[in-house]
Chain A
Amino acid sequence: MFKLYDRQLTSRLLLGTARYPSPSIMAEAVRASGAAMVTVSLRREAGGERAGQGFWSLVRSLDVQVLPNTAGCHTVKEAVTTAHMARELFDTPWIKLEVIGEDDTLQPDVIGLVEAARVLVPEGFRVLPYCTEDLVVADRLVAAGCEVLMPWGAPIGSGRGLNNPFGLRALRAHFAQVTLIVDAGIGTPSHAAAAMELGFDGVLINSAVAQARQPALMARAFAQAVQAGHAAFLAGPIPARDMATPSTPLIGKAFQA
């Protein structure tokens, strides 16, 4: 089991619901992933269009917890208002807090992020901030009351994996008691496994599954990678070294003098 705030989740893999070829393939991928929590959003919709209503009905049928996001918000005010709207729309105080600061990389505006967290946490929100691996920002977010941090692996949708393993390792070491989930930029199951081997508590995947040739199969692969990576972390990987160490004992080797 995996604890996020006061919730016990059965999977360390969180899955996004966007960019799938169809709603039914999205549903199939969610089931195949075993994810217990999926991210959702809220957008403008014309009256009578009802696509959002159909989507919401489908998500509810999946029996998973939802984590609304504030994707696309560029200011504290936008993010806070969107969080308020999401709380009513999805009937949950959980929010993946995004304040975007740069359009090419979708890098979070970490200053705005801290400000928004300081508004939302006292209002009872369970804030999961999409942040970078910056230790000082992480410290401010934790001080604001965030019990979970979601640093990026790489820019959203880039599939580059873990751009800064050193920074992520430092973050893990500095915040041993904080739940850390790598969010964004993961492209393959091996990236997810690497994050878990570093000791991260979970990963959030969207594009890498949704845009795969077979999303459900990729979802299953990610689930296995997350489990394998977490088990490896618990098992304690050996430190890397530059020179060889024989694995087969030399004692008793034949043809020695």
Chain B
Amino acid sequence: MKIRVNGSWLDLPDSGADAGSPAAGVTLAALLPQLGFGDATVATAVNGQFVPHAVRSGCLVREGDRIEILAPMQGG
């Protein structure tokens, strides 16, 4: 399954799910530790929509999803 994380395409192993269908039950909550964000303070959005922390475990990642994972940063 190909998804786009912070602007870069990522190929995740899946069970051959069709485009647009949930890929082997991968949730956003499960994806974050796989990407190295296990205990990090981050905020997430999928396809331009904010996904609150409490909703991540119910948010199934789908083929082609654009996922944003944002961390605190210096700002003016």
Chain A residues with CB under 8 Å of chain B are 16-20, 26, 39-53, 55-56, 59, 68-69, 71, 77-78, 81-82, 84-86, 88-90, 156-157, 206-207
Distance of A131 from chain B, by nearest CB (Å): 16
Distance of A233 from chain B, by nearest CB (Å): 25
Q: How long is the Cα–Cα vector from A16 to B35 in the complex, in angstroms?
A: 30
Q: How big is chain B's contact interface, by range?
A: 20 to 34
Majority secondary structure, A binding face: mixed
Most buried by B among A47, A55, A88, A90: A47
For B43, the chain A residues whose CB sits under 8 A away are 42, 84-86, 88-89
How many A-B residue pairs have C-beta atoms within 8 angstroms? Tell me.
111
Q: Which 7 A-B pairs have the closest CB atoms?
A: A47-B36, A41-B75, A52-B71, A16-B76, A206-B76, A85-B43, A48-B36
Question: Quick one: CB contact mask for B53-74 with A, threshold 8 Å, 1 for yes?
Answer: 1000000000000001111111
B76 in contact with A156 (CB, 8 Å): yes
B73 in contact with A52 (CB, 8 Å): yes
Listed by A's residue number, 7 A-B pairs whose Cβ atoms lie within 8 Å are A44-B7, A47-B69, A56-B41, A71-B75, A71-B76, A85-B50, A90-B72
